[in-house]
Amino acid sequence: MVYPQEHLLIRFNGHFGTSTGILDRWSAGVRFGLASSAPAYDAAKLQTFVNACQTAANSFMGAANTVIGTNCFLDYVSGAQIGVGGKYTPTNQLTVVSPTTPTPGLGSGVLPWNTASVISLRTAIPRGRGSNGRVYWPCLSVPVIAGTGRVNILGRVQAAKTFFDAMNTAANTYSAGMRAVVASAVGGGVIAPVTSIRSDDRLDSIERRENAQPVAWSVSALA
């Protein structure tokens, strides 16, 4: 299984706790590429692109109605060019990391740290491979609607649009025409540009985001 061509993988890395107290970690990734060719690798341009993604992500963390939670922090952004086999290309490249300080989200974090609202990435492919991607971003302070058990996430989607638009602008500077893509390595692979984003009114549970702390069991013996 291979990707049809090389592309960039940008990963957002953060933690839960306080600005200096790291109790658990989280990460989310977005791929960027061209529809039918590979971007020319340029380490200096990649650093600029990663820094721009960091700036865009910081704005998303602090945007109104993103409901990420003040106990959730974005620490840094990393980036690398990925080859058709899913590994670094060129193989000797170093992971590019953005310089930053931890940036908190907004709102009182009242939900478990494994709670995320999915940013769904849609392409022009109606179904199947390359039609839909997902970005799981923490969502710890959104109020749950008592009558339905659902949430109102419209403001977060609007902030996410600004976030992705800014990253696409920076991606186009790295390589003309490059933007966020959905990439699949199944079969001959497919890379399709993201044309819209959406989120629904349900929350997701990402268990790997709460595995750094030991589990505390409550036990009651039966009579």
The model's pLDDT over 50-101, given as tens digits with 9 standing for 90+, comes to 999 999 999 999 999 999 999 999 999 999 999 999 999 999 999 999 988 8
Residues 159, 63: contact at Cβ < 8 Å?
yes
Residue 71 CB contacts under 8 Å (≥ 6 apart), including other chains: 16, 17, 18, 104, 109, 113, 140
CA 23 to chain centre: 20
Whether 57 is in a domain gets the answer yes
Closest by Cα among 79, 26, 29 to 181: 29
Whether 2 is in a domain gets the answer no
pLDDT in tens, 198-223: 999 999 998 877 778 888 889 999 99
Whether 128 is in a domain gets the answer yes
Whether 222 is in a domain gets the answer no
Q: First CA to last CA across the chain, in angstroms?
A: 56
Whether the model clears a pTM of 0.75, i.e. scores above it, the answer is yes
Whether 110 is in a domain gets the answer yes
pLDDT at position 16: 95
Range of the structural domain that residue 23 is part of: 7-207
pLDDT of 35 strictly over 90: no
Whether 218 is in a domain gets the answer no
Whether 219 is in a domain gets the answer no
pLDDT in tens, 110-159: 999 999 999 999 999 999 889 999 999 999 999 999 999 999 999 999 99
Concatenated DSSP letters for 46-115? HHHHHHHHHHHHHHHHTSTT----TTEEEEEEEEEEE-TTSSBSSTTPPPEE-----EE-SS---S-TTE
Structure tokens at 30: 């977005």
Query: Total domain count for the chain?
Result: 1
Whether 143 is in a domain gets the answer yes
